Structure 1
């Protein structure tokens, strides 16, 4: 049993590493092949690759400088790693959702250490209505969060059996009194 648990733990960490590697490969490919600000259509105007560098958080939110984001992302990654270890006996989907979040956080953290900002390139939208440009790490974090929230919402419901009624509702037992009432009602 311990061997199985250890293998699953390694598999989950391997999944985290896979997310980081895929994220970094895609970012390096964009950085090597695009000029900053360059955009090419991949699927018409709906999907474009647009190379930008994001000094802020998701969606370009800026609450502090690069040092703040690097420290914040480092602490968040460490907390997720500790939580992932503590959840080692939880369901595999729960741990994989955290592995996605951790892999995405580490992928963007690598960018912050290497460039002082994050490389974003996935540009989705229609004409002038565009979603903020993002990357594979952002996608991993988002998918991981969606899975984790879904598990919390739906696994909780599955585990909760409906509580039995304390006083089951039963029809009243027949009695002479009820029969007399019906007879009186019929005669009116």
Structure 2
């Protein structure tokens, strides 16, 4: 089961990005909830919030190193199941964005959330969502010392 999760994340991520590329690119955004949620095609040449734009090779190399490090950590240490789930969520998301950078030279983002004009959240994708969820879970497990089997 642990190996299936990142594969499912990658498939879901790539299918939704394929849809976004073919449906949203060059088109008006699709509004789902007025002034809150829309699908809007964005090319992200950087990392989270568009930082470090045009550093494609850096992101490709660092993603490979981080994914290999996480796989090593999962195999080497006696982690709780939830710890391993958090790591494979991050791995699946990282590989999803890696594929974009390798294939098209940028990450395809399309989920656009705006909190009714109070805050316009940066556009993101399914891979980003799993990276964030996995990271939050990882931080909670480490801070509560619940990441290793006793």
Aligned residue pairs, count: 146
TM-score (norm 2): 0.89
User: How far does residue 66 in structure 1 lie from its aligned partner after superposition?
Assistant: 1.4
- Range with bigger deviation, 27-36 or 78-87: 78-87
Q: Tell whether 2:91 aligns with 1:105.
A: no
The offset of 1:84, in angstroms, is 2.0
For residues 35-93 of structure 1, the C-alpha deviation after alignment (integer angstroms, 9 at most, x for no partner) is 24741211222111110110101110016521122112222222122222223x32110
Select the residue among 125, 130, 135 that pairs with 1:140.
130
Give the TM-score taking structure 1 as reference length.
0.72
Q: Which residue pairs with 2:57 in the alignment?
A: 67
Q: Is the 8 A contact 2:45 2:54 kept in 1?
A: no
Q: Does 1:93 align with 2:111?
A: no
Q: Distance in 1 between matches of 2:26 and 2:93?
A: 22
Which runs of structure 2 are paired with 1:1-188 in the superposition (5 Å)?
Answer: 11-36=1-26, 38-62=28-52, 65-87=55-77, 89-128=78-117, 129-156=119-146
**Higher RCO, Cα 8 Å, sep 6+:** 2
- Structure 1 regions of 5+ residues with no counterpart? 1-10, 160-188
Q: Is the 8 A contact 1:37 1:52 kept in 2?
A: no
RMSD (Å) for aligned C-alpha atoms: 1.8
